[in-house]
Amino acid sequence: MSEKMTPIDGDSQKKRVCYFFDSDIGGFHYGPGHPMKPTRIRMCHSLVMNYGLYKKMEIFRAKPATKREMTQFHSDEYVEFLARITPSNMNSYVKEQHKYNVGDDCPVFDGLFEYCSISAGGSMEGAARLSRDKCDIAVNWAGGLHHAKKSEASGFCYVNDIVLGILELLRYHNRVLYIDIDVHHGDGVEEAFYTTDRVMTVSFHKYGEYFPGTGELRDVGVMKGKYYALNFPLRDGISDENYKSVFEPVIQNVMETYDPSAIVLQCGTDSLSGDKLGCLNLSMRGHANCVKFVKSFNKPLLLLGGGGYTMRNVSRAWAYETGLAAGVELGPEIPVNEYYEYFGPDYELDVKSSNTDDLNTPAYLDRVKRIVLENLRHSGGPPGVQMTDIPTMPIDAQMDDPNEDEDLINPNERRPMRLLDSRRQADGELSDSDDEGEGGRRDHATYRNGDSDGLNGTHKFGIGGGILSSGAAHTHGAGPSGHTTVVRMLSSTVDMEVDTPSTESGANGTSDAAPPTAPPASSASEGEAKSGAPAAESTVPLGDKPAPVVPEPKDEKMEVDSTNAP
C-alpha cells in the first residue's frame, strides 16, 4: 500500500463510501472580502485525489437539485427568488432582498442558484444512495449549510441541504439523528424539525454573544418534538480532551436512547483552532475523533461540510476525515498538488491546538452534560413509528411484465426499471439541450447554461449584522434563546405533510480532478450513462409514518480522468 495512507488498526469492517464532488463548486465567489470561499472544497478534493483516496471509494458528480426538490422544505416564493436574482438585476429586488435576508452576510453573486443546487444535490443524492443501500457512508463537503431557513437566507447559507437530505432519509428510516460540531449552532436544522420526534438534533456549539444567538440549554423542542432537540453550549477555547469528554458520552447515550437508523453529521471546521471566525481550540485529530466515533456505530452515515474559514485547515481536516471514512489514515506529508503552496511552510497534514485558555471548566462541562442527559431521559426512548416494509426492489420491477412490448407502453407513463437499465446513451449522441432520461431533469451542462441570464454584474460585499458582526446577532432560531414565539417557529418548521419526490440519484459526467498518476476507476462506465426514471411522488407525515416509495437512484460512477488535474 502507498505510504501516503495506512489502514486504521481495528477498523476491520470495510465501509462502502460514496464521495460527491462537482468541479464547478470552486468557481463561485461570494465577493471581495467575504470569508466564505467555495474554493476550499476544490482544495480538499485536490488533497483527496493526490493522496490516492479515489482507490478506496466511489466518486460521483451529483445532479444539481431542481427548484421543485428545494421546495420540499423551502417556500416556492423564496426558491423562485433565488433562481431569478442576479448581480445585474438585484436593484429591482430591493424589497425581496430585505424580506429574504439576502444582501449582507448572504450576498448576491454570479451563479448563486447553481451554487445552491450543487450543494443540495450532493446531500440529497448521498441520502438516496444510503437509503437504497448503495453505500455505508456518503460524503458531501459542499453541503452542511445549516443556517438557511424555510424562507430566509442566514449565515452564508441560502438553501438548507441538510434538511433536504434528512427528508430523503425519512422516506426510508423511521428515526434520523442529526449531529452538529460546527462552532455555530445548527439553528436552521433544529428549527425545521423542532416539532417532530422523527429527527433528533444534537448541537455542540459556542453560545453567548455569538451568532446566531440560539441553542440555549433549555431549547429542547415543542409538541411531539419536545426533548428531541439537544443543545450543548460551549465556552471559548475548548480543548480536544474536554470536547471528547462531553461528545462521546452524550452521543453514546443518544444512540442507546433514541436508536436512530441513520445519522447525519455536520462537520463544520470553524471549530478548529485558528479559524478566522471560530473561537474553539480543536486540533484536526480532535475534530476527526467525532467522525471516527460516530462511524463506529455502523449506521448509514451522511458526512457533510459546513463552516470553516481558514482554507488550508478546512481542506486538511476534511481530507483527513475522508480518509477515516474510507478506513485509512493519511500520512503527515502533503503530496504535491495544485494548491501545494497554501500548505507551507511545513506542508504537513495537521492542524495543531494553540495555547489559548480553555474557559470550559470541568465543573461547567459536568453540569451541562448532566442537564443534557436529563433532557434526553425525558424523551422516553425511541418513538414508535409505524413503518411499512420497503420492497427489496422497485415496485414497478415487481409488477413488470417481461413480455410487454415497450412500443405499446403509454408514452406518458414511466418505463419499468428493466427497460431503463437496458438503455445506453453514447457520448455525443444527444446535444446538451436534450432532456436526459425519463425524469425530465436536464444534464449538468444544460442546467448550467439554461439558467444564466447574462450574469455579468458585480456585487460589493458589505458587512452588516449577522455572522460577521461582533456580539449577539439578531436571531431567527426556535426556542427561548431565539427570542421568537412558538407561532413564528412553527411557521418555519417542516410541514407535517411533506411532498417528497425522490431525488434522482446517480452520477453524471466525469471527474476532472484526478492526479496525474491516477488510474481510472475500474468500474467507471466509459462514455455511457444509464438512463433514470423519475420517482413517484409521496406524502410523508413526519409525525406518523413515511410513504414506502422507493427512489430509483442511478448507479453511474464518475470516471476518474487522469489527464486533467484540479
Active site residues: 147
Looking up cell 429586488, which residue turns up?
A: 93
Please say whether the beta carbons of 551 and 132 come within 8 A: yes
DSSP of 145-165:
-TT-BTTB-BTTBSS-HHHHH
Beta strands 328-330; 229-234: pairing state: unpaired
Identify residue 127 by its one-letter amino acid code.
Answer: A
Beta-strand pair 425-426/229-234: unpaired
Instruction: Report the 10 Å Cβ neighbour count for 447.
Output: 21
User: Tell me, what amino acid is at 180?
Assistant: D
Find out whether 93 and 362 touch, Cβ atoms under 8 Å. Answer: no
Do residues 180 and 144 lie in contact, with contact meaning Cβ atoms separated by under 8 Å? no
Q: Is 397 exposed, middle or buried (0-12, 13-18, 19+ CB in 10 A)?
A: middle
**All three cell numbers of 92:** 429591482
C-alpha cell at 520: 481510472
Angle between helices 362-378 and 240-258 (to 10 degrees): 10
CA distances from 369 to 216, 231, 372 (A): 13, 10, 5
Are the C-beta atoms of residues 121 and 68 closer than 8 Å to each other? no
Q: Which three cell numbers stand for residue 374?
A: 436529563
Q: What's the Cα-to-Cα distance from 419 to each of 400, 459, 519, 529, rounded to whole Å?
A: 10, 48, 32, 14
Contact (CB, 8 A) for 147 and 156? yes
